Amino acid sequence: MFLLLLSDASCALWPADPATAAYTSLRENRLDAAVSSFHQALPCNPANARIRKDFAYTLLRTGDRFAARRQFEEALRLDPTDESTALESAFLSFETGQPREARRLFLRLKESSDPGIRAKADIAFEGIDEPLRTGIARWQEALRRAPGQWSAHEELARLAEKRDELALAAEHFEEAWRRRPGNSDLLLDLARIWTEQGETAKARAALVSAWRTGTPRVAESAREQMRGATPAAGELALAVPSSPAQQDDAPGFEAKEMGTRSLENSYLNDALTYLTQAYQQNPGDAEVLYQLGVTNNMLHRDAEALQWFGLARRSDSPAVASKAAQAYSALRASRPGLHFSAWFVPLYSSRWDDAFLYSQMTAEYRLGRSIFTPYVSLRFLGDTRSGAKFNAYTYLSETSIIGALGLKARLFPRAYGWFEAGEAVSYLGHRPNQGLASPDYRGGLAWSKGWGRLFGAPESGWFTETALDGVYLHRQQDDMLLYSQTQFGYTLAKDERGHQLMAYWNFNLTADRLGVSWANFAEFGPGFRVHLPGMPHGMVLRYDILYGKHTMPAGFRNPGYWDIRTGLWYAISH
C-alpha cells in the first residue's frame, strides 16, 4: 500500500502526463525523449498494456531488443488475449536467445483464429521445432550406436528441455551426471527440471548434493536456490555413483562415428569434441586428421586446420592424403603473408632430339583481400643442345636464367593477370646479336579450369581440363603468344600403394601476334600421366604422342610432324 501511494504521489508531481509527453516525442521522432517519458509513465499506468506495448515498439526502433522483449512480455501478462503482442514477444524471445519460450508462444499461436498470425506462427514454430526434433533423434541414434557417451546424454537432455520434453530431459541429465559426477553443473540442471515437473523432494536433494559436492560456484548457486539456508546434516542428497562409466572408455570408432555425424549435420563444436577424442585414441587415423582439419576450417580456426591437413596429407591413405593435400594448398594459398612456390618441368622431345628444362621459383607477399600480389621470380629456361647450334627453333629454349620483380592481379575466379620486369642472363655466356645479359619484360593473362575427376582424385571418372594463356615477350620482338591446351580423358582412382593413372586426349593450339612460322601450330594425340608410390605430392610423370601441323608453314619443308614427349611435372608450395 505504501509503494502504491508513493507511486501515485510521484505521478502527481509531474507537471504533465508523461504518457502524453511520450507520444508527443514519438510523433516528433525524438526517440530518446520518448523512451524517457515512457519510463516515467509506467508507474502512473501500471495496468495499461497498450502503453507497455507502444513502449516496446519504441525500444525496438532504438535497437534495444532485450528491453523491448521485457515490455512485450509484461504487456502480454496484462492482456493475455492480445495475439499480436504474443507474436512480437515470441519473435523477440527467439532472437534474444530464449528459443524455449518462443516455441511455447508459437505453439499457442498456431491455434489462432487470425489466419495471418496462424500462418506466421506455423512457419516460425517449425523453424524452431524441426532442428530440436532432428537433434534429439540424432543423439538418440548416437547413444544407440555408442552407449555410455556422457556428453551425448547431456546434449540430448538440453535439446529435450528446449522442446519441453521434461521427462526425457530429466532422464538424460541424470544419466550424464551418473557418468560424470564431477560435473556438478548437471545437478543444477536436474534441480531445475525436477522443479518444473513438481518433483520438489528430488529437486531439493539435487541442490543439497550440489551444495555438498559442487565447485564453489555451483555450491553458491545451490545455496541461493535454497534461499540461503544451509542443508541439515542428515538431509537427503542424491547418491553419488561409486564407479561411474566414463566416456573415455568408449571405443575410438564410436567417437569417430559420432564426430563424423556431427560434422555432417554442422554441429561443429560437437564434431570437434568427438573427433579430438577419436584422435587421442587413434592418432594414426587419417580420416580423423582430415575431418579435424575440415572442422577447424569451418570454425575459422585456420592455423589449427593447416596443422591437421598437414598431418593428413602425410598419411598412408592415398585417398585421404590426396584430398588433404588439396585442402592444405587451398587454405595455405588463401592466407595473407609470405608464400614460396616452385615448379619444374624437365622433358625430352623426339622431334627436336633435345631435353629441356623449364622452371620457376617465386616468393610472393599476399595482401589479404587485395587483388594484387607483388612477387620476386627466378626462372630457368634451357636445353642441352643450344650451345652446339642455334636456329629459329631455339625459341623453344631461351637459354637464360631470368630474375624479375612482378605483380600479379586476380581478375575473376581462376583467372589472373601478371607483369614482371627483370634481367635475363644467358648461361651460354652469349646470345646471338645480344650480350651476356639483357633486360627482360614479360606479362600476360592466364585462366584454367577443370571438371570431373582430376588427377589426384580418390575416385575414378571422366575429366576435362583447359588452360588459356596469353604471354607478352619483350625480348622476342614484343611478340604476344597465345596458348590453348585442353585434355579430355579418364582418371583411375589411386590404389592402396599410391599408383594413379590418367589417360587423355590432347588438343593444343598456339598462335602469335607477329605470325612467325615456329609459333603457329596445332597438335593433338593421346597422353598419360602417372603417379608412382614414393613420389611426393605434386609430382607426376607425363608421356604424350602428338601429331602437329604448322598453320603458317613458311620455312618448313614438311609442315606436319610427330613428336613423342616424356617428362616430369613437379610443383611445390609453402
pLDDT at 553: 67
Domains of the chain: 148-230 (1.25.40.10), 260-334 (1.25.40.10), 337-573 (2.40.128)
Q: Which of 52-61, 479-488, 541-550, 552-561 has the lowest mean pLDDT?
A: 552-561
User: What's the average model confidence in pLDDT over 146-152?
Assistant: 76
Helix axes 99-109, 83-95, angle to 10 degrees: 150
pLDDT at 10 over 50: no
pLDDT at 541 over 90: yes
pLDDT at 560 over 90: no
Residue 417: CB partners within 8 Å, gap ≥ 6? 408, 409, 411, 443, 444, 445, 446
The answer to whether 549 touches 574, Cβ cutoff 8 Å, is no
Question: What secondary structure does DSSP assign to 418-478, as a single string?
Answer: EEEEEEEEETTS-BTTB-SEEEEEEEEEEEEEEEES-TT-SS-EEEEEEEEEEEEETTTTT
Total residue count of the chain as it appears in this document: 574
pLDDT at 16: 56
The answer to whether 470 touches 480, Cβ cutoff 8 Å, is yes
Three-class secondary structure assignment of 2-29: HHHHHHHHHHHHCCCCHHHHHHHHHHCC
pLDDT at 254: 64
pLDDT at 205: 87
pLDDT at 147: 75
User: What's the average model confidence in pLDDT over 96-113?
Assistant: 89
Model confidence at 430, pLDDT cuts 50, 70, 90, reads: low
Helix, strand, coil percent content, the chain, rounded in steps of 5: 45, 25, 25
pLDDT at 537: 72
pLDDT at 203: 87
Model confidence at 467, pLDDT cuts 50, 70, 90, reads: very high
pLDDT in tens, 109-134: 989 889 899 999 899 899 888 988 98
Q: Which of 26-30, 278-282, 484-488, 559-563 has the lowest mean pLDDT?
A: 278-282
Helix axes 252-264, 115-145, angle to 10 degrees: 160
pLDDT at 506: 95
pLDDT at 387: 53
The answer to whether 529 touches 541, Cβ cutoff 8 Å, is yes
Residue 332: CB partners within 8 Å, gap ≥ 6? 306, 339, 573, 574
pLDDT at 240: 62
pLDDT in tens, 302-341: 888 888 888 888 887 777 887 888 788 777 766 677 888 8
pLDDT in tens, 164-206: 999 999 999 888 888 888 788 888 999 899 998 898 888 888 8
CA dist 490 and 356 (Å) reads 28
CA dist 77 and 89 (Å) reads 11
pLDDT at 300: 81
CA 118 to chain centre: 37
pLDDT at 444 over 90: yes
Model confidence at 465, pLDDT cuts 50, 70, 90, reads: very high
Percent of the chain surpassing pLDDT 70: 87
User: What's the average model confidence in pLDDT over 129-156?
Assistant: 84
pLDDT at 269: 78
pLDDT at 379: 92
pLDDT at 221 over 50: yes
**Amino acid letter, residue 305:** A
Q: Which residue has the higher pLDDT, 345 or 556?
A: 345
Q: Which residue has the higher pLDDT, 572 or 503?
A: 503
Residue 382: CB partners within 8 Å, gap ≥ 6? 356, 357, 397, 398, 399, 400, 427
Copy the grid coordinates of residue 475.
Answer: 625480348
pLDDT at 394 over 50: no
The answer to whether 329 touches 340, Cβ cutoff 8 Å, is no
pLDDT at 247: 43
pLDDT at 280 over 80: no
pLDDT at 532: 85
pLDDT at 2: 35
pLDDT at 429: 67
Q: Is 288 exposed, middle or buried (0-12, 13-18, 19+ CB in 10 A)?
A: buried
Q: Is 431 exposed, middle or buried (0-12, 13-18, 19+ CB in 10 A)?
A: buried
Model confidence at 3, pLDDT cuts 50, 70, 90, reads: very low
User: What's the average model confidence in pLDDT over 238-242?
Assistant: 65
pLDDT in tens, 360-381: 999 988 876 678 889 999 999 8
User: What's the average model confidence in pLDDT over 441-450?
Assistant: 91
CA dist 504 and 490 (Å) reads 6
pLDDT in tens, 487-503: 999 988 777 666 788 99
The answer to whether 324 touches 347, Cβ cutoff 8 Å, is no
The answer to whether 103 touches 164, Cβ cutoff 8 Å, is yes
- Name the DSSP letter for residue 229: P
CA 465 to chain centre: 26
Average pLDDT of the residues of the chain: 82
Model confidence at 154, pLDDT cuts 50, 70, 90, reads: confident
